[in-house]
Structure 1
Amino acid sequence: MKISKNMEKALNDQIALEANASNTYLAMASWCEVTGYDGGASFFYAQSDEERTHMLKVVHYLNDLGIPATIPAIKAPSGNYKSLETTLKTSLKNEQVVTAAIHKMVEIAQKDKDHSTYAFLEWFVNEQVQEETKFETLLQKFELIGRDKLAINEIDKILAAEATAPADAPA
């Protein structure tokens, strides 16, 4: 099966996006761990692993088509976060960027009548709905519980539980 050069570029760009997301979550996990947010650290380490898994899905898809995946250089993420809430807000924005890129690839697949890649991308479309909902729900906790030290400790516990929840469980 052949895919268009446009789709090949978009898929390789997605590899870079997923790799950068993985590194960003790794930086957030490290910040949380040093700051004393054990739940946040566990949560973001798990997110980092998940993004790497997403990257590998795209790498394998291209390789299965006989197209060597382009493994990108990764820019260093910021390691300076102001609060647990800021890490979650940044995460939601990052997920929205990933969602937009996936939707763009779906449009390319539709335009190219590339049914195989379209079917491959469906999983990512559904995954992004779950990811955005997860971060929106977590951010709501600051409105519901508050932002004082006890509330943030409670939210950190929620993040710990989220890190150990099965991947397909609702956020």
Structure 2
Amino acid sequence: MRISTKMKKALNDQIALEAAASNSYLAMASWCEVTGYQGGADYFYAQSDEEKTHMLKIIHYLNDIGANATIPTVKAPPSSYKSLEGVIKAALKNEQSVTKAIHKIVELSHKEKDHCTYAFLEWFVNEQVQEETKFETILQKFDLLGRDKLGINEVDKFLAAEAGDSSSTAA
């Protein structure tokens, strides 16, 4: 199967974006771990693995269709945050960027009548709805539980529980 040069570039750019997201979540996990948020650390280590899986899906797709994936270099993400809530806000912003990029590739697949790539991307569209919803839900926990030490501790416990759930259901 052949895809356009423009589509190949867009998918390779998405590989880079997924790699950057994985590294960002790895940095967030490390920050959480040294700051004492073990639930957050576990959650973001799992998120990092999930983003790597997304990157690999695109790599395999490109390679399977003979388009050859490009493995990117990734610049270092921020490694310091002001708060656990700040980490979650940064993660949501990252997911919104990924969603926007996926939607642009979907639009390109429509324009080029690339039905195979469109079908491949449907999974990513659905995944991004779940990803954004996850982080929006976590941010709501700060409003519900508070931003004092007890509230933040409860959010960290919630993240630990979510990390446990995601490790058994990761795609």
TM-score range, shorter chain: over 0.9
Flag the 1:166–1:87 CA change in 2: closer, same or farther, 3 A.
closer
For residues 89 and 110 of structure 1, the distance between their equivalents in structure 2, rounded to whole angstroms, comes to 32
2:120 aligns with: 120
2:144 aligns with: 144
1:33 aligns with: 33
Q: TM-score, normalised by structure 1?
A: 0.97
Tell me if 1:4 matches 2:11: no
2:62 aligns with: 62
Whichever residue aligns with residue 130 of structure 1, its letter is: Q
- Say which SS state the counterpart of residue 165 (structure 1) adopts: helix
Please provide the CA RMSD for this pair: 1.1
Does the Cα contact within 8 Å between 2:2 and 2:67 map onto a contact in 1? no
Q: How far does the alpha carbon of each residue in 1:120-152 deviate from its partner, in whole angstroms, 9 at most, with x for none?
A: 000000000000000000000011110000000
Alignment of structure 1 residues 42-121 onto 2, 5 Å: 42-121=42-121
5+ long unaligned stretches in structure 2: none
Whichever residue aligns with residue 25 of structure 2, its letter is: Y
Q: Give the C-alpha shift of residue 67 in structure 1.
A: 1.7
For residues 10 and 82 of structure 2, the distance between their equivalents in structure 1, rounded to whole angstroms, comes to 33
Q: TM-score, normalised by structure 2?
A: 0.97
5+ long unaligned stretches in structure 1: none
2:21 aligns with: 21
Q: Give the C-alpha shift of residue 167 in structure 1.
A: 6.6
- Say which SS state the counterpart of residue 102 (structure 1) adopts: helix
Q: Give the C-alpha shift of residue 166 in structure 1.
A: 4.0
**What is the identity percentage for the equivalent residue pairs of Structure 1 and Structure 2?**
73
For residues 31 and 111 of structure 1, the distance between their equivalents in structure 2, rounded to whole angstroms, comes to 42
For residues 48 and 113 of structure 1, the distance between their equivalents in structure 2, rounded to whole angstroms, comes to 33
Equivalent residues, number: 169
For residues 12 and 86 of structure 1, the distance between their equivalents in structure 2, rounded to whole angstroms, comes to 29
